[in-house]
């Protein structure tokens, strides 16, 4: 089960992909960079995964950001 939630354009060749997935039997949210270049197209090692049981805590912290 994998569901892409959205994309954010970071630069001309890089997007940030947010998706809900099931890794090792544990649901969570994965946030990773995806690049498109002549040499490589695909996900980079840059990113993080928030397990479902930590999602509320993560969301509460993000909601404190005031730009």
Domain spans of the chain, in order of start: 3-62
Closest to 5 measured CA to CA, from 34, 31, 26, 25? 31
Q: What angle do CA 50, 52, 55 make, to 5 degrees?
A: 65
pLDDT tens column, 3-24: 999 999 999 999 999 999 998 8
The pLDDT value given to residue 66: 94
CATH superfamily for domain 3-62: Transcriptional Coactivator Pc4; Chain A (2.30.31.10)
What is the value of pTM for the model shown? 0.84
The pLDDT value given to residue 1: 78
* For range 59-66, the mean pLDDT: 96
């Amino acid at each position: 089960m994998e569901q892409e939630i959205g994309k954010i354009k970071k630069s001309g060749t890089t997007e940030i992909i947010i998706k809900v997935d099931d890794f090792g039997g544990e649901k969570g949210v994965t946030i990773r960079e995806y690049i498109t270049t002549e040499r490589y197209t695909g996900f980079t090692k840059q990113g993080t995964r928030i397990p479902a049981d930590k999602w509320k805590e993560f969301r509460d912290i993000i909601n404190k950001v005031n730009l």
